[in-house]
A and B are shown apart, each in its own frame.
Chain A
Amino acid sequence: MTDVRPPAPRAGSRDVPGGRGVGARLPRKEDNRFLRGKGQYVANIRVPGMMEVAFVRSPVAHARVRGIVKPAGMEGRVFTMADLAGVRPIVSDSGLPGFRSSAQYPLARNKVRHVGEAVAMCVARTRAEAEDLAEQVELDLEPLPVVADMLQALEPGAARVHDHWDCNVFLDTLVDDDLAAVRANAVITVKRTLRTARQCMAPLEGRAVLACPDARLDQLTVYTASQLPHVIRTGLSECLGIDQGRLRVIAPDVGGGFGYKAILLPEELCVAWLAMRLDAPVRWIEDRFEHLSTNANCREHAYEITGYADAAGHLLAIDCDAVVDSGAYSMYPFTACLEAAQIGSILPGPYKMQRYRCHTRSAATNKSPIVPYRGVARPGVCLAIELVMDGIAREAGLEPHEVRLRKLVRPDEMPYVNITDKHFDSGDYPECLRRAVDALDIPKWRTRQAAGEPDGRRVGVGLAIYCEQAAHGTSVYAAWGIPMVPGHEQCLARFAPDGTLELRVGAHSHGQGLETTLAQVANEVLGIDPARVRVVLGDTAMTPYSTGTWGSRSMVMSGGAAASACEVIAGRVRAIASHLLEAAPADIELEDDVVRIVGTDREMPLAEIARVWYREPQRLPPDVDPAGLETTMGYKPAADTGTFSYACHACAVAVDTELGSVEILDYVVVEDGGTLVNPLIVDGQICGGAAQGIGTALYEEMPFSDEAQPLASTLADYSLPGATEIPAIRIAHMETPSPLSTFGQKGIGEGGAVAPPAAILNAVNDALAPLGALVAECPVTPDRVLDALRRAGESRA
């Protein structure tokens, strides 16, 4: 049996003092090793005889490869695609009609299509020596015209990134509608032209791969800093042409992911191939220069968006044309078009509207590929629609929250199917907005705004509200037709003879704290002390198949699977306990590490059940389930349309109109993540996400030259927010249980990063509105503020 119906939604233990189950603010189990410097990241693994790889990378964005000259005498230590003959390219197609396919060879063949594309691989005893070798490899490149900008890429006559395509578009999508009547009748029309910068996700640990051949098992073990080891194994197998059974992929401790580690890398293929070729352990550790200048980016969007409203500020319709710069190749498994296609489906956000039209294009350029970053397209679409909503408020002479309240889906309308067929599961969006407005105290800021600041800066307030589809499953991804469609999530649960419990799941944790929260789930079901629960993650040899950790899915899916597996084990524990305690199974309760006859003091340690099963089987009941205290169970919510967490972010900023600088004076998040499994961890996710969103809003940008040269090559050029840039964020919770998940929990991992760009730009524009200036580009750097002020001054003159 691999499947059960999910258990009915049940109350958590969040009101139980000293509780250790669902709802407990439990400190994390995994902290101990990290606090003592014992985190096992790939770069910390030492294997005897390990060799190191450095790559020769393209210095230009677009060129034909005419020749690669290996240094004399070093031919056996330098490898090109000619040596890797037989290794297949990474091809990641969407099943959506019209998708144009790209082929990314692990080392460039014929052409290079972005700066940093790997051309040759050099191996030596140390990275330093491998880099010495790489410096001696000569490339003969014939420069080709460069496609550096996504809008130029779409122009007729633009150079082609892929010679066999008829244009530079991976995919064109259209959600069509007839807006003629709305256009004719709308009193308010707000049009915005927006752009968001290319970003680097910048987990503090970069990508890292170590491949070790094992002759006894006829197997290659690949350690990789990844969010989805099982998917990497499938991808490696397909490209290398070897059975999946001959590959074991282990993602050990992973130093942050955020989406960056949810792709199959050319470097993973290269290192795996080389370890087999040399029959020796080989590793490649991405350095920060490679992260910033060559590997996957994210978030570069352009929007032409128009909102139509009536005179009272009721949003009637949205019309949008959006372009995403998808870079040169389609990444495995999420493809080059997921982001743009998602724009079409999620742009309406939490709002109701009569009409909706959205055209999207995924543009191919001579830049590194993109990978979905925390929130994927949501920060961009939230920015787009929320700037329009503020524009409508301004035109209608209303407060921003007033126009939003008119069109937010109401709780009495839940569950609600929106205009793009998204199934909102539960919640009270208007109340969330009201609480955020109250928490920020907008009237206080309006008074202060009217009085003016003593230092001459201008104060503004901004809001953004969004809902986030999470843990969406089979039907949603089957419709996208990408190489990876999530099905059932599974968990193996088993007791050891000493009564400790092991949970094995195929998702992974790279900071989210699953070792703790899954142990809390086990406590909730079995009453076992979380300290006696071991959670095993990230190893294809140890865990059931999983598409991994992405899409804010793990606590719903792996949490659901862990609960299902523990429920089955609990039933078997009850059966054994009823025999040993001489009571009906239904009268046995599991709590605080004991099994007890309900309402009596007749009990025995939970561990005693395990001991009897393994070591004194002669005491077991004759009809005992021979499957024992071990099971693998699958979980899938009854509806796989996803849980919808939501939040409203509200902030106040001060803008210096002389310097263009922006300071956040207060920042409030009101969030509904359904039942919170561990509020301590949820707050950490929200605050960390918001910090990344503040980076998107104000600091982070990878600029490119006209030749598509990335211009930020160190963290001194690519600005990540530090402790002085991030304010003390105030978080408040609503807890509307999802009707779809085991405990009512909703996925919340990405949400924090979604709203800050919208909330902060709205606040900046609120501050600048009296001057007639509008900033419509992220990040809001001092230059962009001053540009907006200058344009406003010119238009007034």
Chain B
Amino acid sequence: MAGKTTLTIGIEVNGEQVTHAVEPRTSLADFLRDTLGLTGTNLGCEHGVCGACTVEIDGAPARSCITLAVACDGASVRTTEGLADDPVAEELRAAFKAHHALQCGYCTSGMLVTARDIVMRLPEADEARVRVELAGNLCRCTGYMGVVNAIVAVLAARSPHPRQDP
């Protein structure tokens, strides 16, 4: 019978150090949502396909639904709540709104984490590359048009060499 054994982990979440006892079977997503109350990270499939639960672990996007909380002992995690004052995320939020990159909003937190990673890691990415990079984040509402356009717009705005339209 599960529910008895716990391990204590130390984890940095959105810049704050947290020490907490967790069951070994608890996912990072459930730990963030149920234990810390950070419900901005939504669960879409719980088997690592849809990308809705994407968070940053040690600076890189990761699926919080298939990451065990105990495996994050000593790690630094950033969720959508931790991006509240991030300037790149702020540019993305404005672009997502302007380009209608969200409808129901359920995939949006994960999309923003992935989008921020694309913008930071691939400043020269074109639309085709953006689509490939987004392939791990499913959206059921938008058909991706607004999401792709928003990210491309942020890349263009940040580029020191604005691309010439043909």
Footprint of B on A, CB under 8 Å?
27-28, 30-39, 41, 43-44, 46, 126, 128-129, 132, 202-205, 253-258, 287-288, 510-513, 680-681, 683-684, 687-692, 714-716, 720, 722-724, 726, 728-729, 752
* Partner-binding segment picked from B41-49, B67-75, B156-164: B41-49
Given A202-B140, A204-B52, the answer on whether A256 and B104 have CB atoms closer than 8 Å is: yes
- Point out the residues of chain A lying under 8 angstroms from B41, CB to CB: 37
- Point out the residues of chain B lying under 8 angstroms from A511, CB to CB: 103-105, 141
A44-B105 Cα distance, complex, nearest whole Å: 13
- Distance (whole angstroms) from the CB of B59 to the closest CB of chain A: 19
Is B143 touching A39 in the complex (CB atoms < 8 A)? no
Given A287-B46, A288-B44, the answer on whether A204 and B104 have CB atoms closer than 8 Å is: yes
Specify which of B50, B80, B144 is in contact with A204 (CB 8 Å cutoff): B50
Residues in B99-156 with C-beta less than 8 Å from chain A: 100, 102-109, 112, 127, 130-132, 134-148
Is A254 touching B104 in the complex (CB atoms < 8 A)? yes
- Write the chain B residue with the least CB distance to A285: B43
A716-B139 Cα distance, complex, nearest whole Å: 15
Is A253 touching B145 in the complex (CB atoms < 8 A)? no
A683-B100 Cα distance, complex, nearest whole Å: 9
A204-B102 Cα distance, complex, nearest whole Å: 12
A126-B3 Cα distance, complex, nearest whole Å: 10
A714-B142 Cα distance, complex, nearest whole Å: 22
- Distance (whole angstroms) from the CB of A721 to the closest CB of chain B: 8
Other A-B pairs beyond A46-B39, A687-B145, 17, CB < 8 Å: A27-B97, A30-B105, A31-B105, A37-B79, A37-B109, A39-B42, A132-B1, A203-B106, A204-B52, A255-B104, A288-B45, A684-B146, A692-B143, A720-B50, A723-B134, A723-B144, A724-B132
Is A204 touching B103 in the complex (CB atoms < 8 A)? no
- Point out the residues of chain B lying under 8 angstroms from A30, CB to CB: 105
Is B103 touching A684 in the complex (CB atoms < 8 A)? yes
A714-B48 Cα distance, complex, nearest whole Å: 10
- Point out the residues of chain B lying under 8 angstroms from A681, CB to CB: 100
- Write the chain A residue with the least CB distance to B45: A288
A46-B33 Cα distance, complex, nearest whole Å: 10
Is B105 touching A253 in the complex (CB atoms < 8 A)? yes
- Distance (whole angstroms) from the CB of B125 to the closest CB of chain A: 12
Residues of B in contact with A, size category: 35 or more
Contact mask B1-30 → A, CB, 8 Å, 1/0?
111000000000000000000010110000
Footprint of A on B, CB under 8 Å?
1-3, 23, 25-26, 33-34, 37-47, 49-50, 52, 79-81, 84, 93, 96-98, 100, 102-109, 112, 127, 130-132, 134-148
Is A288 touching B100 in the complex (CB atoms < 8 A)? no
- Distance (whole angstroms) from the CB of A685 to the closest CB of chain B: 8
- Write the chain B residue with the least CB distance to A687: B143
- Write the chain A residue with the least CB distance to B40: A37
- Write the chain A residue with the least CB distance to B109: A37
Is A35 touching B142 in the complex (CB atoms < 8 A)? no
Is A723 touching B131 in the complex (CB atoms < 8 A)? yes
Is B47 touching A288 in the complex (CB atoms < 8 A)? yes
Given A204-B104, A204-B106, A723-B144, the answer on whether A715 and B134 have CB atoms closer than 8 Å is: no
Is A513 touching B103 in the complex (CB atoms < 8 A)? yes
Given A35-B96, A37-B80, A726-B144, the answer on whether A688 and B45 have CB atoms closer than 8 Å is: no
The 14 listed contacts between A and B (C-beta, < 8 Å) are A31-B97, A37-B80, A37-B109, A41-B42, A205-B42, A205-B104, A254-B104, A288-B50, A511-B103, A690-B143, A720-B50, A723-B144, A728-B148, A729-B145
Is B135 touching A203 in the complex (CB atoms < 8 A)? no
- Point out the residues of chain A lying under 8 angstroms from B135, CB to CB: 722-724
- Point out the residues of chain A lying under 8 angstroms from B139, CB to CB: 204
Is A720 touching B140 in the complex (CB atoms < 8 A)? yes
- Interface secondary structure of B, over-half rule: loop
Is A714 touching B45 in the complex (CB atoms < 8 A)? yes
- Write the chain A residue with the least CB distance to B148: A723
- Point out the residues of chain B lying under 8 angstroms from A689, CB to CB: 143
- Point out the residues of chain A lying under 8 angstroms from B146, CB to CB: 684, 687
Is A688 touching B103 in the complex (CB atoms < 8 A)? yes
A691-B148 Cα distance, complex, nearest whole Å: 14
- Point out the residues of chain B lying under 8 angstroms from A129, CB to CB: 2-3
- Write the chain B residue with the least CB distance to A35: B93
Is A205 touching B103 in the complex (CB atoms < 8 A)? no
- Point out the residues of chain B lying under 8 angstroms from A34, CB to CB: 102, 104-105, 108
- Distance (whole angstroms) from the CB of A38 to the closest CB of chain B: 7
Is B42 touching A204 in the complex (CB atoms < 8 A)? yes
- Write the chain B residue with the least CB distance to A694: B143
A33-B100 Cα distance, complex, nearest whole Å: 14
The 10 A-B residue pairs with the shortest CB-CB distance, nearest first, are A37-B40, A34-B105, A511-B103, A255-B106, A691-B143, A511-B104, A687-B143, A37-B80, A44-B39, A715-B49
Specify which of A41, A205, A728 is in contact with B145 (CB 8 Å cutoff): A728
Is A716 touching B131 in the complex (CB atoms < 8 A)? no
A66-B112 Cα distance, complex, nearest whole Å: 51
A33-B81 Cα distance, complex, nearest whole Å: 11
- Distance (whole angstroms) from the CB of A368 to the closest CB of chain B: 18
Is A46 touching B102 in the complex (CB atoms < 8 A)? no
- Distance (whole angstroms) from the CB of B49 to the closest CB of chain A: 4
- Write the chain A residue with the least CB distance to B93: A35
- Point out the residues of chain A lying under 8 angstroms from B103, CB to CB: 256, 511-513, 684, 688
- Write the chain B residue with the least CB distance to A33: B105
Most buried by A among B26, B39, B105: B105
Specify which of B25, B33, B100, B107 is in contact with A27 (CB 8 Å cutoff): B100
- Distance (whole angstroms) from the CB of A173 to the closest CB of chain B: 32
A684-B102 Cα distance, complex, nearest whole Å: 9
Given A41-B42, A205-B106, the answer on whether A132 and B3 have CB atoms closer than 8 Å is: yes
Most buried by A among B23, B39, B79, B146: B39
- Point out the residues of chain A lying under 8 angstroms from B97, CB to CB: 27-28, 31-32, 35
Is B134 touching A688 in the complex (CB atoms < 8 A)? no
Specify which of B2, B108, B137, B140 is in contact with A692 (CB 8 Å cutoff): B140
Is B45 touching A258 in the complex (CB atoms < 8 A)? no
Is B140 touching A203 in the complex (CB atoms < 8 A)? yes
Given A253-B105, A255-B105, A723-B134, the answer on whether A691 and B43 have CB atoms closer than 8 Å is: no
Is A35 touching B108 in the complex (CB atoms < 8 A)? yes
- Distance (whole angstroms) from the CB of B23 to the closest CB of chain A: 8
- Write the chain B residue with the least CB distance to A203: B140
- Point out the residues of chain A lying under 8 angstroms from B37, CB to CB: 46
A687-B45 Cα distance, complex, nearest whole Å: 23
- Distance (whole angstroms) from the CB of B149 to the closest CB of chain A: 9
- Distance (whole angstroms) from the CB of A148 to the closest CB of chain B: 26
Is A203 touching B131 in the complex (CB atoms < 8 A)? no
Given A36-B80, A204-B44, the answer on whether A715 and B141 have CB atoms closer than 8 Å is: no
- Point out the residues of chain A lying under 8 angstroms from B39, CB to CB: 37, 43-44, 46
A194-B130 Cα distance, complex, nearest whole Å: 37
- Write the chain B residue with the least CB distance to A722: B135
Specify which of A31, A512, A715 is in contact with B47 (CB 8 Å cutoff): A715
- Distance (whole angstroms) from the CB of B24 to the closest CB of chain A: 11
Given A27-B97, A715-B50, A724-B135, the answer on whether A128 and B2 have CB atoms closer than 8 Å is: yes
A412-B15 Cα distance, complex, nearest whole Å: 67
- Write the chain B residue with the least CB distance to A716: B49
- Point out the residues of chain B lying under 8 angstroms from A728, CB to CB: 127, 145, 148
A723-B133 Cα distance, complex, nearest whole Å: 9
Is A35 touching B102 in the complex (CB atoms < 8 A)? yes
A287-B46 Cα distance, complex, nearest whole Å: 8
- Distance (whole angstroms) from the CB of B144 to the closest CB of chain A: 4
